[in-house]
Amino acid sequence: AEYMGVSCLHGHSRYLLATMLAAARFAFAPVRATLATAVTRSSRVAAPVAVCRRFFSTEHEDEDDEAAEYRPPHVKIAVLGAGGGIGQPLSLLLSTLDTSFATAELSLYDIKGAKGVAADCSHINSTVVVKGFDGEEELKDALEDVNLVLIPAGVPRKPGMTRDDLFNTNASIVMNLAKACATHCPKAVVGIIANPVNSTVPIAAETYKRLNCFDPKKILGVCSLDMVRAQRFIYDMKKDSVAGLEPLNVELPVIGGHSGVTILPILSQAQATVDTDYGGEDEGEKDADDLEMEDEYSGYSTQAIKFDESEIAPLTERIQNAGTEVVDAKAGAGSATLSMAHAAKEFAEAVMHGMAYSAFGEGAQEGEEQDLEGMPSVYAYTENNDFGTKYFAAKCYLDGEGVHTIEQLQESEFSAFEQEKLKEALPELKKNVAKGEEFVAQHFE
């Protein structure tokens, strides 16, 4: 990293390691193939990959100065509802963001209490700038120059409540905050956390449409918690049978929506990238020439994760009902606030990586097709009519403008069990979307 002179690679060892791996991938043929999958699967290493691709590319041999002059983008994040059960831990996690790929500033807002949260977070030993804003009269200032908005504002679920029970209260909150965002930061990416997401995202979108600034690339429902849960539950189930398995290396589509039967994990496509051992002689005796010639070096490999028939239905139902599991366990003291904050922080990091990815000029040139390999991605609930529901959660590839491309899945690629679950999900999703749209039609002023 020091040799390359790229300023975005200073800081934490995780990014330096990612950079070295990425450099090895693009500079050294023996390592390139074995690291190709591992390095590009995670949006966490997208920025180092982008830097190294440009630096080591033979097409850019004369662009060393351009790489050296790269500066990370500045991302200003607003958390609306920063004083709440999700907002506080989310603000904490965001205040510790790794700023080696993008500098960050936090704008924490709530009706009351956000200034206290900001004061607390501003004492953390990080470079993230944190400011607090309380009350509706300060909302405009909180949104000034923001390019990523996260909205956890709203009331939490209690035992016996469904996400639909939250609708009347949270719908008004989201619509009013969406109005403010559309007015004061219309080009910002907006991540909706407030439940029921299946309805609050259409509420935000319809609000933007009425203010003539809707961009489907920028209004996203944060449903990354469903992926986080699926990764953890699969790891817990398979860690003893899949060597080298780690939760973050589990990959599968988790699509549909963000409540109950609308959450559809496609377990038939679950796979994991694992670090396999060297074959043959002791690895310490190998050099680069040996590795280039020998087939027994396996490096990283992607393996399908297999499930018994008896495991599929219970695991699917647990992923679908995981939120209720937490609500019941907390016995009235709250909902899934901590895990949701973690998932929202991962969502924010992915969006920031998209901005860094574009800042380094990794987008396709005019007339070229975008190479999605190594492009930051996240599962999100967006305007998407692939299954006739207007909105649908799927894997979204991200760039500096928000969603660049939505991965298209074919029902024919699903198992018979998953196809039946999809049939259950679609009517519910359509009802949820219509409910959100009708709310705005009736209450927007």
Please pick, among 184, 258, 353, 404, the residue that the annotation labels catalytic.
258
CA 193 to CA 222: how far, in whole Å? Answer: 5
Tokens found for residue 349? 């990091």
User: Three-class SS string for 174-217?
Assistant: HHHHHHHHHHHCCCCEEEECCCCHHHHHHHHHHHHHHCCCCCCC
Q: Which two tokens stand for residue 233?
A: 């539950």
**Distance separating the N- and C-terminal Cα atoms of the chain:** 54
CA separation for the pair 31, 91 (Å, rounded): 39
Q: Which amino acid is at 261?
A: V
- Tell me the two tokens of residue 408: 């298209």
Active site residue 342: no
Of 223, 224, 219, which Cα lies nearest the Cα of 185?
A: 219
| DSSP secondary structure of 325-338 | HHHHHHTTS-SSHH
Q: At a CB cut-off of 8 Å and minimum separation 6, what does 172 contact?
A: 443
Q: Which two tokens stand for residue 198?
A: 């299946």
Is the CB of residue 227 less than 8 Å from the CB of residue 254?
yes
261: DSSP letter: G
What are the helix (H) ranges across 41-157?
46-56, 64-68, 87-94, 114-121, 139-142
| Residues identified as active-site | 258
